[in-house]
């Protein structure tokens, strides 16, 4: 069957993570949500619907996915923020077995729908964005027992369970464990690729979940890895403690990382703490970077979403860092703060930081808007160190995000000009 994966307006709740990617490109397990949908549902054709300015980069990132399609055949429509796991797969299977058009809805959001070509030809695909209109044309079933992301903290809440589920189902788990590596728990829950190197003195603890270590990974002693944990290809772990986390491909990790997701090509090379947090691509966190993931009161953590101060229901919650962020040595980030795309942060961060800002308030420096040309030079320098070039479509996207976020910088009174720290 043909599958359409779409973004609904909840992507705004997930800024700055979704400025530079479609919502279905978020990583909540071993793969992105879109890649997981393709793997679990195996469509004959897949179409992705996202914001227009993302179309060009999405075509480059996912050449096998159509970004638009004029034909209106029978389709399965899936929300791009729905994780497809065991229970969600069963839900989709039951939906497809229905002999009529039907939609699954939670609150005012469409989760998934089976739509006939006839229904689509009489209306248009736009009906999927309006649940109230949808109910006029097909049966609606309300459901709650699924993993549909609405807010940033949902990712942090869902992913350890999802990672454990995915790794438990992994068909190739084996124990290629070197002498001197100490295992706590059953070795059958560990997968280490033959081309990876783990130094003696490393501890791998699988009592709470499996551990997957990909190709060409280097792990220096005395690293401790506590499952469930995924470490992507070509990453290096420098004597760190990594617990219940997803480390993307080509990352450099030191210090302590707990209950966090780090996208590919990002660095937390040195000592410091990252907990209950989400980090985008091409981020560099300097030596001593530490975030808070617990309030001094042990109370509920709150976050500002669309200008509203919302209770998260979480006692533990860290920070959310957009792509291309740079954090200087000794940066300290308060609980549940958002750091915008390509911003440079220094000192103590006690509030959300908009995109493309030089932020060093605690050092007595006024807020300064970064120059886009300088940002692009910095991005290209970092990427070249890994043998990667900034593609024209990605550069165009960064310029577009810079334009789109100009209002954020104006609102906080950031000025343009030279950066000076005395």
- The CATH homologous superfamily for domain 2-149 is Spore Coat Polysaccharide Biosynthesis Protein SpsA; Chain A (3.90.550.10)
DSSP string, 362-392: GGTPPPEEPPHHHHHHHHHHHHHTTT----H
Of 45-54, 99-108, 189-198, 270-279, the range with the lowest mean pLDDT is 99-108
Q: Where are the alpha helices (DSSP H) in 98-151?
A: 117-122, 131-134
What pLDDT, in 10s, does the model give residues 285-342?
Answer: 999 999 999 999 999 999 999 989 999 999 999 999 999 999 999 999 999 999 999 9
Domain boundaries, the chain: 2-149, 153-416
| DSSP secondary structure letters along 239-251 | S-EEES-EE-TT-
pLDDT at position 341: 97
The pLDDT score that the predictor gives to residue 178 is: 78
CA dist 252 → 15, 177, 286, 299, 306 (Å): 25, 22, 11, 33, 33
- pLDDT of 74 > 60? The answer is yes
pLDDT tens string 221-246? 999 999 999 999 999 999 999 999 99
Give the percent of the chain with pLDDT over 70. 94
Would you state the pLDDT for residue 179?
82
Region of residue 388 (phi > 0: left; psi between -120 and 50: alpha; otherwise: beta): beta
Q: Which strands sit side by side in the sheet containing 284-285, from one edge to the other?
A: 197-198, 218-220, 236-238, 252-253, 267-268, 284-285, 326-327, 344-345, 357-359, 368-369, 415-416
Q: What pLDDT does 173 receive?
A: 53
Tell me the C-alpha distance between 260 and 306, whole Å: 24
Q: Which CATH superfamily is domain 153-416 in?
A: Hexapeptide repeat proteins (2.160.10.10)
Predicted pLDDT at 107: 86
Instruction: Specify whether the CB–CB gap between 235 and 248 falls below 8 A.
Output: yes
pLDDT for 262:
97
- pLDDT value, residue 101: 81
pLDDT > 80? residue 382: yes
* Per-residue burial over 50-86, b = 16 or more CB atoms within 10 Å of its CB, e = otherwise: beeebebbbeebbeebeeebeebeebbbbbbbbbbbe
What mean pLDDT, rounded, does the chain reach? Answer: 90
Sign of the C-alpha dihedral computed for residues 146, 149, 150 and 153 taken in this order: positive
CB atoms within 10 A of CB 284: 19
């Amino acid at each position: 069957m043909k599958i359409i994966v779409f973004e609904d307006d909840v992507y705004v709740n997930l800024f700055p993570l979704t400025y530079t990617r479609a919502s279905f490109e978020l990583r909540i397990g071993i793969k992105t949500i879109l890649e997981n949908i393709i793997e679990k549902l195996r469509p004959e054709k897949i179409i992705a619907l996202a914001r227009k300015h993302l179309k060009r980069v999405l075509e480059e990132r996912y050449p096998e996915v159509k970004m638009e399609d004029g034909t209106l055949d029978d389709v399965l429509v899936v929300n791009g923020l729905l994780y497809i796991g065991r229970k969600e797969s069963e839900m989709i299977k039951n939906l497809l077995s229905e002999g009529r058009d039907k939609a699954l809805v939670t609150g005012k959001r469409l989760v998934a729908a089976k739509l006939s070509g006839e229904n689509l030809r009489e209306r248009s695909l736009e009906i999927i964005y309006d649940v109230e209109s949808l109910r006029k044309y097909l049966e609606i079933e309300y459901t709650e027992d699924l993993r549909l992301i609405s807010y940033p903290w949902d990712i942090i809440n869902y992913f350890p369970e999802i990672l454990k589920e995915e790794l438990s189902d992994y068909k190739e788990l084996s124990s290629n464990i070197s002498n001197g590596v100490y295992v706590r728990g059953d070795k059958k829950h560990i997968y280490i690729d033959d081309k990876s190197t783990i130094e003696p003195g490393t501890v791998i603890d699988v009592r709470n979940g499996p551990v997957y270590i990909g190709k060409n990974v280097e792990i220096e002693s005395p690293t401790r890895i506590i499952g469930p944990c995924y470490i992507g290809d070509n990453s290096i772990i420098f004597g760190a403690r990594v617990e219940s986390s997803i480390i993307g491909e080509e990352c450099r990790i030191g210090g302590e990382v707990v209950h966090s997701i780090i996208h590919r090509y990002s660095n937390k090379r040195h000592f410091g703490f990252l907990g209950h947090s989400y980090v985008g691509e091409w981020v560099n966190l300097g030596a001593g970077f530490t975030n808070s993931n617990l309030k001094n009161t042990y109370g509920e953590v709150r976050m500002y979403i669309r200008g509203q101060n919302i209770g998260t229901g979480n006692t533990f919650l860290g920070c959310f860092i957009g792509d291309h962020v740079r954090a200087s040595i000794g940066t300290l980030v308060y609980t549940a703060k958002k750091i915008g795309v390509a911003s440079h942060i220094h000192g103590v961060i006690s509030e959300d930081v908009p995109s493309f800002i030089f932020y060093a308030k605690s050092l007595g420096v006024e807020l300064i808007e970064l120059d886009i040309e300088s940002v692009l030079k910095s991005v290209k320098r970092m990427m070249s160190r890994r043998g990667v070039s900034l593609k024209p479509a990605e550069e165009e996207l960064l310029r577009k995000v810079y334009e789109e976020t100009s209002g954020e910088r104006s609102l906080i009174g950031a000025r343009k000009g030279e950066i000076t720290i005395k």
